[in-house]
Structure 1
Amino acid sequence: MPLQRVAIFQLGMLLMVVPLQFIITKMSSSTESQRVDQLTSVMEAVYGFSNKYLSWESWQRWSSTFYQNGIAQLFQSENNDNNINNDEENAYSRTKENNEFFATSTEPRSPRPSHVHFRVGQVIKHKIWGYRGVIIGWDEVAVAPEYWMSINHPPDKPHWRTMPNYSILVDTRDRLAPQITYVPQENIEMAPKTQIFHPEVDHYFEKFDGIRYLPRPSVRRVYPYD
């Protein structure tokens, strides 16, 4: 049970203590009929609280709200307190603004430039944030909205814009909510023989061969030499 729901449960129990104590003290001097009515009221209150805050349906609603709120806060700067993950880190919350951004272009990458060091299907680890992931696409240079570039490719890192950038499915063991990030080549390194957990893996890859993921035909058409 997440911390917020634990807190709600504890608060609800505390709020119910006072009326319960009052009812218990009154029951000894009440008639049987009154005691039945009082107990019924208590049970209805407990049931209502449980149904509103502790049921499976309420958990689904809470999860949905939590996820949507998390997505809404994805584009955060590296300069925030505690080095909150920037989006290099969560590019795809806004990719649909332009289907050419963040390595989403379906134009075949042919020929393959020699300075693109990593390939689609390879498993990597982020050098700064430490998460694992699998590459699902790359651009020879960064292709992203200017507002995104200004936040995530800071002035002291101008070369991030002109080096290859990679779209990566992030392992959900490292990031609980499924994420796709867009990362400069300088910030990643190989992490072979590692399987990645992400709900979109099967969309891009046929299988994991023990070292890397094998792209599906639709992906191979875009990256024929990877």
Structure 2
Amino acid sequence: MRNPGTAKFAIGQIVRHRLFPFRGVIFDVDPVFNNTEEWWNAIPEHMRPHKDQPFYHLLAENDETEYVAYVSEQNLLVDESGEPVRHPQLREYFDGYDSSKRTYRPRGRPHH
């Protein structure tokens, strides 16, 4: 296992869930689990990820809706669809979509 805090994915990157049918763009990263015990205990015990890994905040979407998700690194994969995310809060966090890199540009960072 890697050292806690070494994130595999980056802010602006589009990912999908390994088990469930949703995808999203990362807008924040916690180096280790940083949510409530109530949230943690709501996950079925046989599916609970380890707490000592990065957890990602996603502007997520599925076929029906958009929402914010909190997902462990072990449950994420790179989204290879090439499609942008449709989440209505994108403009709060990102300046635009770079289709050549398949990532979003975080607000306040230089554009190259």
Taking the aligned partners of 1:116 and 1:163, their CA distance within structure 2 comes to 8
- Change in 2 beyond 3 A, CA 1:155/1:196: same
Aligned match of 1:166: 56
Gaps of 5+ in 2: none
Aligned match of 2:37: 146
Compare CA radii of gyration and give the structure with the larger one. 1
Q: Which has the higher helix share?
A: 1
Provide, for residues 20-77 of structure 1, a one-character-per-residue CA deviation record: whole Å limited to 9, x for no partner. Answer: xxxxxxxxxxxxxxxxxxxxxxxxxxxxxxxxxxxxxxxxxxxxxxxxxxxxxxxxxx
Secondary structure at the aligned position of 2:25 is classed as: strand
Aligned match of 2:17: 126
Using the TM superposition, give the Cα deviation of residue 123 of structure 1 relative to its aligned residue in structure 2, in angstroms: 0.3
More relative contact order in 1 or in 2 (CA 8 Å, sep 6+)?
2
Aligned match of 1:214: 105
Aligned match of 2:76: 188
Using the TM superposition, give the Cα deviation of residue 150 of structure 1 relative to its aligned residue in structure 2, in angstroms: 1.4
Which ranges of 4 or more aligned residues in structure 1 deviate by more than 3 Å? 155-158
- Change in 2 beyond 3 A, CA 1:158/1:180: closer
Secondary structure at the aligned position of 2:88 is classed as: coil
Aligned match of 1:70: none
Aligned match of 1:136: 27
- From 72, 88, 91, the equivalent of 1:199 is 88
Taking the aligned partners of 2:91 and 2:65, their CA distance within structure 1 comes to 17
Taking the aligned partners of 1:215 and 1:187, their CA distance within structure 2 comes to 23
Taking the aligned partners of 2:47 and 2:23, their CA distance within structure 1 comes to 26
Gaps of 5+ in 1: 1-112, 221-226
Q: Which has the higher strand share?
A: 2
Cα RMSD of the aligned pairs, angstroms, is 1.9
Taking the aligned partners of 1:194 and 1:203, their CA distance within structure 2 comes to 19
Secondary structure at the aligned position of 1:137 is classed as: strand
TM-score by length of structure 1 reads: 0.42
Query: How many residues align structurally?
Result: 102
Taking the aligned partners of 1:129 and 1:144, their CA distance within structure 2 comes to 20
Taking the aligned partners of 1:144 and 1:216, their CA distance within structure 2 comes to 25
